[in-house]
Structure 1
């Protein structure tokens, strides 16, 4: 008997075309420098892909994602790239076209991770230069090799650059590209004093030696409208501290205070002993005397010890209210202050930083810390006593609100269609088992059902993912757990309880304190009433 061979045509593409006639295609472009030639290249790429995609009848143009003047070594720095990936996840794109593997990413890990994520979504990336479509067989192996070569090239260039910089460190010939505040450069790249800025540097050192702190110095500089460093909005205490600790103002230069990691993704880190540093004494004309610099360092170290700062620069006794109290009037955070220092009735209060800087811009008054604690105690005990009437109904309502009526109807329709397709698949299996249809026809129809079923499930899952209120539900469940393990009325403020239940405190007028809990529920108390 002669063998009968019947070709089964691929149905996935056929079904997809029936469900979605045109493939939605976008392009991704990147220009990695700021030169005029590359800017022209950027514009040319945008125009090229717009025309290229528009020529295909079976493609639908969905736009250009173009990162301009950004590095390709780190995906997280490319806003347009990340937006494109998000649109792919949202089902808005079916295919991506880009010039080459090096234009897509020079970091092998990021490149492969993005390609695999897109491949799992059924979205291919076509690299024109290499003629590779990521949905084809063996594409990942080739892309891995090409991406690794590109990454190796980037790392090799970085290593060579760092070697050259290190050599100049050792020779003492390194020239700062961006001089510190108070200095500028001459024609040969040597540091020279910029007198208008040097005057401010001397003022900062003298005021610090006279007992003022960095925060107060910054505030006075802002009050006097002193021009800021590199056009910043205002002077910050962190900038003042940086000036006070920089040996450059004594005429010395400390090199390699920071370093770049060896492999991709390149990261800039503070040198805390990982690499050698190079100290050049008497490198340039000083702005302050060495005696002044030594005295400032002694005072700074003494204050650090008094405030309980460890070697990493972090406060050992961080306050539970730090960065959590927000001003309802201006939106700024509150800062901790001591009042009546040294008196028997010494108190701690929290005050809006904007009010401290300029009372005309924020009239919110300070609030004593003991009042905030007492008010929290009152709020928590009320919530504890009434949690069955507040949190349980809230949790039920949040679960009901996760989907609106239209979403609910859409999910119901998609579920019904999934049931229909599943039933059709079962019927088809029973028919072929009894020999009523040819196996080849069964395979073709079964594949078609599978493809459509996957598409419907994807749509259903997307509707479920967009229903929201996840944080509120998780936070409410967490509050109920905390209450279950702490069911008794508390008589004394509990710091741990506050930390685990409150996200923010909002201070308003007329003695109003609002506690925003971890489930976004806001409860307001009025102290002194």
Structure 2
């Protein structure tokens, strides 16, 4: 008996063309340096890909994502690459074209993870040089090999460079390309004093030894318009500290103070004993006497001990209000200040960093820490006594407003279509089981339904992801649980409740303190006399 063979034509391409007439194609370009030759290459890539994509009738130009002067070993620093991945997640791209695997990434792990994620989304990456489409069956093995080779090449270059630098460290021939502030290189690469900058260095050491802190020194230098290091806008306390502890100013050169990690992605870190350092004594003319430098180190050690900074546990989030208090006028972060230190009336206050640096940038006044604490206690007591009138209705409203009416209808339509398609699949299965349908026609129809089902589910998920109040709902539920565990009014400020309940504090210029809870609900208390809050007792 002759076998009956029926060809079942692919339906995916037909359905895709019906649902989306043109494939949305973008290009990704990258150059790893900002040299003139690379800039020309970068411009040429942009022009080439735009012309290529727009020249295809079945393609729709979805843009060009391009990172200039970005290393392929560090994915997080490639802004356009990350933006492209986000657009792929949002369903705006169907295909990516790039020059080669090395242009896409030199980090094997990042490259494969990105390609796999794009595969899950049904998005192809086409590598022109290697002629590889990431959606093909054998693409991943080949891409893994090529990405590993690209990463190996980058690591090999890095190893050779580090070996050469280390050799020059050991024989004392390493030439510093960017000398420390106060020095410059002569024609032989040797460090010589740059007098204008050296005068600033001497002043920094003198002021610190006379009792000024790094923050005050930085503020005064900025106010006087003294040129900064590397063209920065203002002097920073951290820069002043680096100058004070740098042995270069005593005529000694300490090399390999930082290191580059071995594997991709390469990261620059401070050398804290992982690698040997090389101290070259009497390498160049000193700006600061060794005795003055030793005295500075002793002061640093004393102040660290007094502030408890030698305890790592205390260094992490030293204060409950750190980074949480924001200025209602300029948006700046409030910093802690101690005034009248050592006096019986010593006070802790918090001030806007921009106002501290320059009163003309922000007119917000500082606020005492105890005022913020009492305002929190008042706000908390009002909240727990009215939680059934505030938080419970809010939770119900958030759940109802999770989606707007238009999107709710669209999501409902997607739900209905998914149910219809699922039911059609079941009907087909029952018909096939009873022999009422030709097997070839059954497979073709099932494939058609499966493709549409995936497309509708993807659309529904995007609608659900793009419009929700998950964070607000979760935060409100956590607030209710926190109140359930702490149902009684508090007589004074409690730091544990503040840390668990508050996301942000905004100090307004009108005398109000606004507390933004973890569910983004904002509650305000007045800190002015005669306002809604009395400071002589807690409500």
Q: TM-score range by the shorter chain?
A: over 0.9
Question: Is the contact made by 1:53 and 1:61 (CA closer than 8 Å) also made in structure 2?
Answer: yes
Once the two structures are TM-superposed, the CA of residue 492 in structure 1 deviates from its matched residue by 2.5
Counterparts of 1:18-33 in structure 2 under 5 Å?
18-33=18-33
Relative to the length of structure 1, the TM-score reads 0.97
Distance (whole Å) between structure 1 residues aligned to residue 362 and residue 439 of structure 2: 79
Aligned to 2:71: 71
Aligned to 1:350: 350
Counterparts of 1:99-178 in structure 2 under 5 Å?
99-178=99-178
User: Which range moves more in the overlay, 89-98 or 468-477?
Assistant: 468-477
Evaluate the alpha carbon distance shift between residue 75 and residue 338 of structure 1 in structure 2; reply closer, same or farther with a 3 A threshold. closer
Deviations 1:275-305 (A, max 9, x none): 1111111111111111111111111111111
Aligned to 1:386: 386
Evaluate the alpha carbon distance shift between residue 23 and residue 355 of structure 1 in structure 2; reply closer, same or farther with a 3 A threshold. closer
Aligned to 2:332: 332
User: Which range moves more in the overlay, 282-291 or 509-518?
Assistant: 509-518
Distance (whole Å) between structure 1 residues aligned to residue 117 and residue 291 of structure 2: 60
Question: Is the contact made by 1:504 and 1:515 (CA closer than 8 Å) also made in structure 2?
Answer: yes
User: Which range moves more in the overlay, 505-514 or 100-109?
Assistant: 505-514
Evaluate the alpha carbon distance shift between residue 51 and residue 327 of structure 1 in structure 2; reply closer, same or farther with a 3 A threshold. closer
Aligned to 1:432: 432
Question: Is the contact made by 1:308 and 1:317 (CA closer than 8 Å) also made in structure 2?
Answer: no
Distance (whole Å) between structure 1 residues aligned to residue 7 and residue 428 of structure 2: 20
Distance (whole Å) between structure 2 residues aligned to residue 330 and residue 24 of structure 1: 42
Secondary structure in 1 matching 2:315:
coil
Aligned to 2:318: 318
Aligned to 1:87: 87
Secondary structure in 1 matching 2:65:
strand
Counterparts of 1:489-528 in structure 2 under 5 Å?
489-527=489-527, 528=529
Distance (whole Å) between structure 2 residues aligned to residue 412 and residue 474 of structure 1: 24
Distance (whole Å) between structure 2 residues aligned to residue 163 and residue 463 of structure 1: 53
User: Which range moves more in the overlay, 62-71 or 260-269?
Assistant: 62-71
Aligned to 1:182: 182
Once the two structures are TM-superposed, the CA of residue 75 in structure 1 deviates from its matched residue by 1.6
Distance (whole Å) between structure 1 residues aligned to residue 82 and residue 360 of structure 2: 42
Counterparts of 1:413-492 in structure 2 under 5 Å?
413-492=413-492
Q: In angstroms, what is the RMSD of aligned CA positions?
A: 1.6
Once the two structures are TM-superposed, the CA of residue 341 in structure 1 deviates from its matched residue by 2.9
Distance (whole Å) between structure 2 residues aligned to residue 109 and residue 314 of structure 1: 36
Tell me, yes or no, if structure 1 residue 375 matches structure 2 residue 375: yes
Distance (whole Å) between structure 1 residues aligned to residue 47 and residue 365 of structure 2: 57
Question: Is the contact made by 1:310 and 1:316 (CA closer than 8 Å) also made in structure 2?
Answer: no
Once the two structures are TM-superposed, the CA of residue 409 in structure 1 deviates from its matched residue by 1.2
Once the two structures are TM-superposed, the CA of residue 468 in structure 1 deviates from its matched residue by 3.3
Evaluate the alpha carbon distance shift between residue 365 and residue 58 of structure 1 in structure 2; reply closer, same or farther with a 3 A threshold. closer
Once the two structures are TM-superposed, the CA of residue 314 in structure 1 deviates from its matched residue by 6.5
Distance (whole Å) between structure 2 residues aligned to residue 85 and residue 356 of structure 1: 41
Evaluate the alpha carbon distance shift between residue 43 and residue 358 of structure 1 in structure 2; reply closer, same or farther with a 3 A threshold. closer
Evaluate the alpha carbon distance shift between residue 297 and residue 32 of structure 1 in structure 2; reply closer, same or farther with a 3 A threshold. same
Evaluate the alpha carbon distance shift between residue 476 and residue 109 of structure 1 in structure 2; reply closer, same or farther with a 3 A threshold. same
Aligned to 2:7: 7
Aligned to 2:243: 243
Aligned to 2:303: 303
Distance (whole Å) between structure 2 residues aligned to residue 53 and residue 225 of structure 1: 51
Question: Is the contact made by 1:126 and 1:132 (CA closer than 8 Å) also made in structure 2?
Answer: yes
Tell me, yes or no, if structure 1 residue 408 matches structure 2 residue 404: no
Question: Is the contact made by 1:308 and 1:316 (CA closer than 8 Å) also made in structure 2?
Answer: no
Distance (whole Å) between structure 2 residues aligned to residue 470 and residue 220 of structure 1: 47
Deviations 1:388-433 (A, max 9, x none): 1111111122222221121111111111111111121122112112
Counterparts of 1:157-306 in structure 2 under 5 Å?
157-306=157-306
Question: Is the contact made by 1:334 and 1:351 (CA closer than 8 Å) also made in structure 2?
Answer: yes
Evaluate the alpha carbon distance shift between residue 483 and residue 93 of structure 1 in structure 2; reply closer, same or farther with a 3 A threshold. same
Relative to the length of structure 2, the TM-score reads 0.95
Question: Is the contact made by 1:108 and 1:147 (CA closer than 8 Å) also made in structure 2?
Answer: yes
Secondary structure in 2 matching 1:411:
helix
Once the two structures are TM-superposed, the CA of residue 240 in structure 1 deviates from its matched residue by 0.7
Secondary structure in 1 matching 2:341:
coil
Deviations 1:108-129 (A, max 9, x none): 0001001100000111111111
Secondary structure in 2 matching 1:472:
helix
Distance (whole Å) between structure 2 residues aligned to residue 312 and residue 196 of structure 1: 39
Deviations 1:80-138 (A, max 9, x none): 11111111111111111111111111100001001100000111111111111111111
Number of aligned residues: 529
Distance (whole Å) between structure 1 residues aligned to residue 340 and residue 67 of structure 2: 56
Unaligned runs of 5+ in 2: 531-539
Evaluate the alpha carbon distance shift between residue 467 and residue 280 of structure 1 in structure 2; reply closer, same or farther with a 3 A threshold. same
Question: Is the contact made by 1:418 and 1:457 (CA closer than 8 Å) also made in structure 2?
Answer: yes
Evaluate the alpha carbon distance shift between residue 476 and residue 114 of structure 1 in structure 2; reply closer, same or farther with a 3 A threshold. same
Secondary structure in 2 matching 1:525:
strand
Once the two structures are TM-superposed, the CA of residue 45 in structure 1 deviates from its matched residue by 1.5
Deviations 1:424-457 (A, max 9, x none): 1122112112211111110110011001000000
Unaligned runs of 5+ in 1: none
Distance (whole Å) between structure 1 residues aligned to residue 76 and residue 85 of structure 2: 11
Distance (whole Å) between structure 2 residues aligned to residue 303 and residue 30 of structure 1: 47
Question: Is the contact made by 1:307 and 1:315 (CA closer than 8 Å) also made in structure 2?
Answer: no
Deviations 1:477-497 (A, max 9, x none): 111110111111111321111
Distance (whole Å) between structure 2 residues aligned to residue 26 and residue 359 of structure 1: 48
